[in-house]
Amino acid sequence: MNRIKMLVYILPRGKGEELSSLAADEGVAFRLVLHGKGTAASDILTLLGIGDVDKDIMLLTVDEERSEYVFRKLGDKMELKRIGGGIGFSIPLSAVANQSIVYDLLAGNLSKVPTERSGK
């Protein structure tokens, strides 16, 4: 079983769908765009180009072997190095939960995922 990494991007509102499309072009199957609120707006944050509080949070899952390539390619295409372009980071899913449970959730095998009622 290959290890999986979750790539997380925090982008200006409206950029999540663009990133989702680019990720699909790279063969990324699991893509989720969430809407969030960033830090409170201030003059300093606005000067830095990060004053807008409405954000898109993009979650992607990628095989660990391809994760660095996909992470860098998407970051370059989204111009994350540009001020106010957004940020990205990765998390090994083994650090989040039992890996077999995560694989079952991502594959839709809900009957294999333990629940409070099943006691498994």
Separation of alpha carbons 11 and 55, rounded Å: 6
pLDDT digit string (tens) for 84-114?
788 899 988 765 556 666 666 565 555 655 6
Q: What is the pLDDT of residue 39?
A: 66
% of the chain residues with pLDDT over 70: 64
CATH of domain 4-94: 3.30.70.120
- Collapsing DSSP to helix, strand or coil, 109 comes out as coil
Contact 31, 90 (CB under 8 A): no
Q: What is the pLDDT of residue 120?
A: 53
pLDDT digit string (tens) for 62-83?
888 899 999 999 999 999 888 7
Question: For the chain, what are the domain ranges?
Answer: 4-94
